[in-house]
Amino acid sequence: MSDLLLGALALMLVLEGVLPFFSPPAWRAVFERATQMTDGQIRFMGLVSMLIGLGLLYLHGGS
């Protein structure tokens, strides 16, 4: 189980690093827009992200 969790964390870090590596100006613009969002908007985005992740885990686990 810990190998799977470590692999998932590693993949997340790789995906998180793609945009700043290939396009720092675009990453900066996204980050600046995020700092202008309200707490409620950020929480909603976090909730949507978690639900999508849980849905993908559910679909993957069913196969």
Per the structure, how many domains does the chain have?
Answer: 1
For the cut 80, the answer to whether the pLDDT of residue 62 exceeds it is no
User: Which range marks the domain in which residue 14 is found?
Assistant: 2-61
Taking the model in full, what pTM does it have?
Answer: 0.70
Confidence of residue 15 (pLDDT cuts 50, 70, 90): very high
Quick check: 63 pLDDT over 60? no
Give the model's pLDDT for residue 1. 74
Residue 12 is predicted with a pLDDT of 92
* Per-residue pLDDT tens over the stretch 31-49: 999 999 999 999 999 999 9
Query: DSSP letters along the chain, please?
Result: -HHHHHHHHHHHHHHHHHHHHH-HHHHHHHHHHHHTS-HHHHHHHHHHHHHHHHHHHHHHHT-
